[in-house]
């Protein structure tokens, strides 16, 4: 468990090296969410709003148990309810705690043009620093999970911090502390993955969920929030969890390679023009007047 | 594209040209009246502001160099779309103003075939069919027009990402970048050509006039149209005159 300070691993919109990166050994943390034992009590939703001192958000009733359609700038933790028809015709309820996944390869951080607006700590937490945010919302486009939310009054983007303020002091996130069933756990990535695999095996062997598995998508090099799902082959049925989350190429190859190279090539026009002048000289109006540099 | 738009363009040109003055000295020709100059520099100012604020957010390597100009990152992000709208509006007016002289003609296709000799300064004076604008100027103009449309169409999703899909925004930012790079190349060439490369050109856009020598050298067909005289004959006559004057100069030997 990290304690005291959080070491920074990656910084958004940052030119050059990340100061201090790799200077300290730190365990990677992980939030474990067992969807199969969530009872939908929403204690985590309340704990999140409480701990983060967020103004109360208006809830929306849409004939389900869900608090509102999606997370909001002041509501970072949402239980997504779904009624899923099973093969035998009966219905199954899924309740998935939706929040920032704290991707190992964060699309928001890759997309962000503002230096230091988004950082990734060595422990894997991806955190927004609103004082550096310029409100461009590129992170919204970069995120495969539709998590960063824009506040049009402050012109800043907000999301779950994985309670980096608590984790930095050796405490577990507020949602974890509030969970009454133990479907939420917090620890090192290695420990949580081991626990999740064990639970998935248990579901497969003892509870008849042949497709039970762990959601830790490799397309973004894994996440620091992992799910145990009854059916890991259909993550979409859990409130639209993407099976193959991807960062748009705009913020990977294009941003980190094509853009700087393109700019350098475009700027080549300046030395070309300069040396054209040196080599070829100007086109004077003809004929040059006596005394002009015409020889 | 008729009537109402044309009437608006004529009216705007008439009203703005009624202000200020353009002094045409002896041996000079009026090239750019007040309206054209005001539009050109309005486009230029908004372009420069949009360009600097845009490149501030283009790459982390420019972020700290350029955002302070506009009062930091958030202000840069806030102002960029408004600078850009100013650019698009004034360029739109310039488009109307210059629609006729910028129309592509067979002479421009011929100019394009000769571009190598143009770049290497092979000919002292331009071919006689080169009009008010040459093919290169027209290419730059229509590139700006195309880029302005792309900037606007792709800029809106970047400005209001929540009203468009994630995919639309991702594609838009790539097209936005490509247009910016195209404009950057054109802008550098434009500045070079209009200042150091062709002495006398900058004056056309500041005080509105050019020398007759400049006109028959760079835009002979326009010279013929503006003066009713033969550009090549006038050039040869002037050349003979300077030669005679030059031969009297003992320093010439």
Which strand (E) or helix (H) includes residue A185? strand A184-188
Report the sign of the C-alpha dihedral through residues A50, A52, A53, A55, in that order.
Answer: negative
Q: Which of residues 238-277 of A touch B (CB under 8 A)?
A: 248-251, 254, 259-260, 262-263, 265-267, 269-270, 273, 276-277
Kindly report the nearest CA distance between residue B137 and chain A, in angstroms.
16
Which two three-digit tokens encode residue A140? 């919204």
CA–CA distances in Å: residue B235 to residues A66, A281, A288, A294:
83, 21, 11, 16
Q: Which of residues 184-243 of B touch A (CB under 8 A)?
A: 184-185, 188-189, 192, 196-200, 211, 213-214, 216-218, 235, 238-239, 242
Q: Mean pLDDT throughout B156-177?
A: 96
Helix/strand/coil for B5: helix
Q: Is the pLDDT of residue A47 over 60?
A: yes
Taking only the tens place, the pLDDT of each residue in B37-55 is 999 999 999 999 999 999 9
State the complex-level ipTM. Answer: 0.91
Read off the DSSP letter of residue A55.
P
CA A110 to chain centre: 10
A294: confidence class by pLDDT, cuts 50, 70, 90: very low
B252: confidence class by pLDDT, cuts 50, 70, 90: very low
| More confidently predicted of A287 and B246 | A287
A24: confidence class by pLDDT, cuts 50, 70, 90: confident
Taking only the tens place, the pLDDT of each residue in A265-286 is 999 999 999 999 999 999 999 9
For residue B192, which residues of chain A lie inside 8 Å, CB to CB? 273, 276-277
Which two three-digit tokens encode residue A217? 């998508």
For residue A286, which residues of chain B lie inside 8 Å, CB to CB? 124-125, 213, 216-217, 235, 238-239
* Direct distance between the N- and C-terminal alpha carbons of chain A, in angstroms, rounded to an integer: 79
Kindly report the nearest CA distance between residue B182 and chain A, in angstroms.
7
For residue B213, which residues of chain A lie inside 8 Å, CB to CB? 285-287, 289
Which two three-digit tokens encode residue B249? 């100069």
**Measuring CA to CA, which residue among A171, A172, A200 is closest to residue A186?**
A172
CA–CA distances in Å: residue B222 to residues B140, B172, B230, B233, B236:
19, 40, 10, 14, 17
Give the least confident one: A2-16, A83-97, A134-148.
Answer: A2-16
Q: What percent of chain B has pLDDT over 70?
A: 96
Tell me phi and psi for residue B38, to 5 degrees: -60, -45
A128: confidence class by pLDDT, cuts 50, 70, 90: very high
Substitution target from A115, A247, A264, A286 for chain B, most B beta carbons within 10 A = A286
Q: Is residue A279 less than 8 Å (CB to CB) from chain B?
A: no
Q: Is the pLDDT of residue B246 over 70?
A: no
For residue B60, which residues of chain A lie inside 8 Å, CB to CB? 13-15, 113, 115
Q: Is the pLDDT of residue B253 over 60?
A: no
Read off the DSSP letter of residue A249.
G
Mean pLDDT of chain B: 94
Substitution target from A134, A135, A264, A279 for chain B, most B beta carbons within 10 A = A134
Closest-CA residue of A relative to B185 is A266
Of A136, A259, A269, the CB nearest to B77: A136
Gap between the Cα atoms of B215 and B223, Å rounded: 6
Taking only the tens place, the pLDDT of each residue in A164-173 is 999 999 999 9
Q: Is the pLDDT of residue B170 over 70?
A: yes
Say if the Cβ atoms of B74 and A155 lie within 8 Å. yes
Class of domain A8-247: alpha beta
Under 8 Å CB pairs connecting chains A and B tally to 140
Q: Is residue B47 less than 8 Å (CB to CB) from chain A?
A: no
pLDDT at A64 (0 to 100): 87
A26: confidence class by pLDDT, cuts 50, 70, 90: confident
A3: confidence class by pLDDT, cuts 50, 70, 90: very low
Contact B219, B135 (CB under 8 A): no
Q: Is residue B137 less than 8 Å (CB to CB) from chain A?
A: no
Closest-CA residue of B relative to A279 is B120
Q: Which of residues 151-180 of A touch B (CB under 8 A)?
A: 155
Say if the Cβ atoms of A135 and B77 lie within 8 Å. yes
CA B100 to chain centre: 15
Gap between the Cα atoms of B91 and B96, Å rounded: 9
Say if the Cβ atoms of A141 and B166 lie within 8 Å. yes
Q: Mean pLDDT throughout A36-40?
A: 95
Contact A82, A94 (CB under 8 A): yes
Taking only the tens place, the pLDDT of each residue in A168-215 is 999 999 999 999 999 999 999 999 999 999 999 999 999 999 999 999
Q: Is residue B92 less than 8 Å (CB to CB) from chain A?
A: no
Report the sign of the C-alpha dihedral through residues A206, A207, A212, A213, in that order.
Answer: negative
pLDDT at A63 (0 to 100): 87
Say if the Cβ atoms of B58 and A113 lie within 8 Å. yes
């Amino acid at each position: 468990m990290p304690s005291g300070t959080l070491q920074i691993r990656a910084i958004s919109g940052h030119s050059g090296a990340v100061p201090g990166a790799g200077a300290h050994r730190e365990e990677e943390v992980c939030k474990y969410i067992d969807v199969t034992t969530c009872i939908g009590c929403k204690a985590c939703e309340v704990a999140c709003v409480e701990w983060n001192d967020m103004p109360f958000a208006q809830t929306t009733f849409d004939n389900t148990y869900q608090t509102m359609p999606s997370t909001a700038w002041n509501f970072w933790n949402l239980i997504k309810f779904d009624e899923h028809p099973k093969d035998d015709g009966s219905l199954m309820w899924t309740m998935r705690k939706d929040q920032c996944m704290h991707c190992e390869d964060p699309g928001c951080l890759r997309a962000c043009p503002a230096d230091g607006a988004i950082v990734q700590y060595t422990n894997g937490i991806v955190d927004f620093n609103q004082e550096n945010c310029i409100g461009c919302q590129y992170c919204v486009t970069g995120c495969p999970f539709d998590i960063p939310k824009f506040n049009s009054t402050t012109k800043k983007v907000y999301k779950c911090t994985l309670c980096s303020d608590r984790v930095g002091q050796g405490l577990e996130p507020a949602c974890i502390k509030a969970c009454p069933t133990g479907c939420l756990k917090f620890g090192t990535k290695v420990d949580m993955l081991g626990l999740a695999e064990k639970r998935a095996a248990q579901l497969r062997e003892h509870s008849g969920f042949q497709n039970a598995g762990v959601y830790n998508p490799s397309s973004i090099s894994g996440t620091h929030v992992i799910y145990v799902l009854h059916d890991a082959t259909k993550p979409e049925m859990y409130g639209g969890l993407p099976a193959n989350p991807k960062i748009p190429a705009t913020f990977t190859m294009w941003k980190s390679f094509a853009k700087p190279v393109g700019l350098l090539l475009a700027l080549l026009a300046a030395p070309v023009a300069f040396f054209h002048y040196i080599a070829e000289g100007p086109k004077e109006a003809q004929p040059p007047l006596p005394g002009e540099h015409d020889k | 594209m008729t009537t109402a738009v044309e009437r608006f363009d004529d009216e705007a040109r008439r009203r703005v040209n009624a202000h200020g003055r353009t002094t045409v000295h002896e041996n000079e020709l009026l090239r750019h009246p007040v309206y054209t100059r005001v539009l050109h520099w309005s486009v230029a100012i908004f372009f420069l502001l949009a360009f600097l604020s845009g490149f501030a957010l283009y790459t982390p390597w420019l972020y700290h160099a350029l955002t302070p100009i506009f009062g930091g990152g958030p202000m840069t992000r806030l102002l960029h779309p408004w600078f850009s709208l100013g650019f698009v509006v004034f360029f739109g007016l310039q488009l109307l103003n210059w629609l006729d002289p910028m129309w592509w003609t067979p002479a421009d296709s011929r100019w394009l075939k000769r571009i190598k000799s143009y770049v290497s300064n092979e000919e002292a004076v331009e071919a006689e069919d080169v009009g008010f604008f040459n093919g290169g100027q027209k290419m730059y103009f229509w590139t700006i027009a195309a880029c302005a449309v792309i900037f606007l169409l792709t800029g809106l999703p970047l400005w209001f990402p929540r009203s468009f899909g994630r995919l639309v925004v991702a594609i838009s930012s790539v097209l936005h970048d490509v247009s910016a790079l195209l404009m950057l190349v054109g802008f550098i060439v434009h500045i070079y050509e209009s200042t150091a490369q062709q002495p006398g050109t900058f004056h056309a856009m500041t005080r509105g006039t050019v020398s007759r020598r400049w006109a028959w050298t760079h835009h002979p067909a326009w010279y013929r149209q503006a003066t009713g005289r033969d550009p090549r004959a006038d050039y040869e006559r002037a050349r003979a005159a300077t030669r005679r004057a030059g031969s009297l100069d003992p320093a010439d030997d």
